[in-house]
Amino acid sequence: MITVFKRPHPLSDVSNTYCPGCTHGIVHRLVAEVIEELGAEGDTIGVAPVGCSVVAYNFFEFDVQQAAHGRAPAVATGIKRVHPDKLVFTYQGDGDLAAIGTAETVHAAARGENISIIFINNAIYGMTGGQMAPTSLVGQVTQTTPYGRKIENQGYPIKVSEMLSTIEGAAYIERVSVDSIPNIKKTKAAIKKAFECQLDKKGFSLVEVLSSCPTNWGMEPSEALKWLRENMIKQYPLGVYCDKR
């Protein structure tokens, strides 16, 4: 018998703290699979954000630093400047990256900082119980948009991949989704390209992963993926937005 599928070594053999059906767990495993395939586990340093994945340091077998809310790209910059030959990546949610951490993200890209960012876009603040995120859709009901997100009050959702693709320092930016098996495979491929872009010292890379939040969307896990397909992908078209590798 040959093993077709098993837990990748860089992913700790522990139960994670995510809600049932939360796609954070899938993306964690894909990151670990790519690091295993690149043989980079011993040279990887991750940076965890503030949000549901704040305790990501418990779920990986490599070194991790936990960063203040929004500051992961700056922390990663500090690490990368000390260890230019290590694989340094941040794992951030939409509040961490596109709200409080916008400046750090934009300037890491502008510097062409040789780091990779795994950006989980689930259009909501999960850890704090379902508030609006900068990527919440117009009309989306959340704890802080109880009447649905209104343009005249909360403005428009931010398209991060498109925004960052205009920055010259960005070398590779792709938006993917984990709503289906084919898209999960594409997500893994995109993460691999981003990490290889970094290891080849080509500059800043970011993978935006459309993800679900069953608990705070108030949906069954499979229903949440369906909602993602029908609503989020329209607002956030999948594809490569920048590739200067």
Residues that bind another protein in the complex, under the rule CB under 8 A: 1-7, 11, 15-16, 18-26, 29, 41-45, 47, 54-55, 57, 60-68, 71, 74-83, 86, 103-104, 106-107, 180-181, 184-185, 214, 220-222, 225
Q: Tell me the Cα Rg of the chain.
A: 17
Report the residue number, 145 or 167, with the smaller CB distance to another protein: 167
Report the residue number, 26 or 158, with the smaller CB distance to another protein: 26
Q: How far is the CB of 208 from another protein (least distance, A)?
A: 19
Q: Position 138: which residue type?
A: V
**Strands 116-121, 87-93: pairing kind:** parallel
Q: How far is the CB of 117 from another protein (least distance, A)?
A: 14
On whether the CB atoms of residues 136 and 122 are closer than 8 A, the answer is no
Report the residue number, 60 or 204, with the smaller CB distance to another protein: 60
Taking the CA of residue 170 as centre, how many other CA atoms within 13 Å lie in the half-sphere pointing to its CB? 22
φ, ψ of residue 234 in degrees (nearest 5): -65, -45
In whole angstroms, give the CA distance from residue 118 to residue 174: 10
Report the residue number, 94 or 113, with the smaller CB distance to another protein: 113
Of the candidates 76, 126, 138, the one whose C-alpha atom is nearest the C-alpha of residue 101 is: 76
Taking the CA of residue 98 as centre, how many other CA atoms within 13 Å lie in the half-sphere pointing to its CB? 27
Strand partners, 201: none
Q: How far is the CB of 144 from another protein (least distance, A)?
A: 22
Helix (H, G, I), strand (E, B) or coil at 83: coil
Report the residue number, 64 or 207, with the smaller CB distance to another protein: 64
Q: How far is the CB of 132 from another protein (least distance, A)?
A: 23
Q: How far is the CB of 150 from another protein (least distance, A)?
A: 30
Report the residue number, 75 or 157, with the smaller CB distance to another protein: 75
